[in-house]
Amino acid sequence: MSETHALTEYHDESGLYEIRLKGHLDNRWADWFEGMTITLEENGDTLLTGQVIDQAALHGLLKKVRDLGMPLVSVNSVNPGQAKTQEVKS
């Protein structure tokens, strides 16, 4: 016998994400990243932080990162209390 298991539990796909890039991204890109906070870190990385409504939106952000040609360091889903909010000005 074969059994088919259906996903019966609803999963909320929205969440807060931190996307880390190697190199500093100029603040003029803020509009292109649709409300994501751009944090320039002292180690030379850029941290994009913001609410992402679903996986399709996350993939859209990652495509923009790819189009910039900046190396992607990490993508993390974070709890709102864990997100870094301090911006470092260059």
Q: Which residue has the higher pLDDT, 73 or 80?
A: 73
Q: What's residue 44's pLDDT?
A: 97
- For 36, counting Cβ atoms within 10 Å of its Cβ (0-12 exposed, 13-18 middle, 19+ buried), the class is buried
pTM across the whole model: 0.75
Please report the pLDDT score of residue 37 as a whole number: 92
Mean pLDDT of all residues in 10-34: 84
Show the tokens assigned to 74: 């990490």
Mean pLDDT along residues 47-73: 95
Residue 30 pLDDT > 60: yes
Question: What pLDDT score does 11 carry?
Answer: 52
Paired with 19 in beta bridges are 48, 75
pLDDT at 75: 97
- Give the bridge partners for 37, in sequence order: 49
Tokens at 40, concatenated:
């320039």
